[in-house]
Amino acid sequence: MSALVLGIDPGAVHTGWALLEFSVPSSPVWFVGGTCDEVETVIESLLADATRRPELVCIEQPQALHNPMANRNLIGAAWVGGMAAGFAVARGLDVHVLGPEAWRMGLIGRPRRGDNVDHKVEAFLRAHVRQFPARSSVHARDAAGVACVGYRAARLGGSRGTVP
């Protein structure tokens, strides 16, 4: 049994996306991914091709920080993530939403103070996602991490974070 899962890492400027194929019990396979300005266009193009139609959409939902200047960018990213979730639900797709800390801890465990989390995320994906590209943007990389953890959470029946 195989499932295509779309991971989305929303950003105020660029949004990362990654479509992974999960075949139980093997490791996920990188199918396609990249960055875009309008994630709705990506979702529409995937839905138009039956061989690339995702069964599940997993979206990072940014959370507020203590730095007011950083929150300005997070508001934009949260807007993009919310729009993507609403668009996917309207198209009949199952959506699972995860916070940034939730998917990172689900992927690499709890980091220690001073750990390079980005490096650990990339190392995990290179080790566990077959055909992961030699070069990818940080946004597409994070979208792949969101897809991995979101798929596992949804498969285990976790309704927490799921958009109805």
> Tens digit of pLDDT for each residue in 132-159?
998 889 999 999 999 999 999 988 775 4
Q: Determine the pLDDT at residue 160.
A: 43
> Tens digit of pLDDT for each residue in 16-46?
999 999 986 778 999 999 999 999 999 999 9
Q: Determine the pLDDT at residue 63.
A: 76
Looking at beta carbons, which pairs linking 29-36 to residues 24 or more positions away fall under 8 Å?
29/129, 29/130, 29/131, 30/129, 30/130, 30/131, 30/132, 30/133, 30/144, 31/4, 33/7, 33/133, 33/136, 33/140, 33/143, 33/144, 34/136, 34/137, 34/140, 35/137, 35/139, 35/140
Q: Which has the higher per-residue pLDDT, 65 or 61? A: 61
Average pLDDT over residues 88-114: 92
Residues belonging to the chain: 164
Q: Determine the pLDDT at residue 65.
A: 65
Q: Determine the pLDDT at residue 13.
A: 85
> Tens digit of pLDDT for each residue in 110-127?
888 888 889 999 999 999
User: Can you list the domains of the chain with their CATH numbers?
Assistant: 2-163 (3.30.420.10)
pLDDT band, residue 74 (cuts 50/70/90): confident
Average pLDDT over residues 64-89: 84
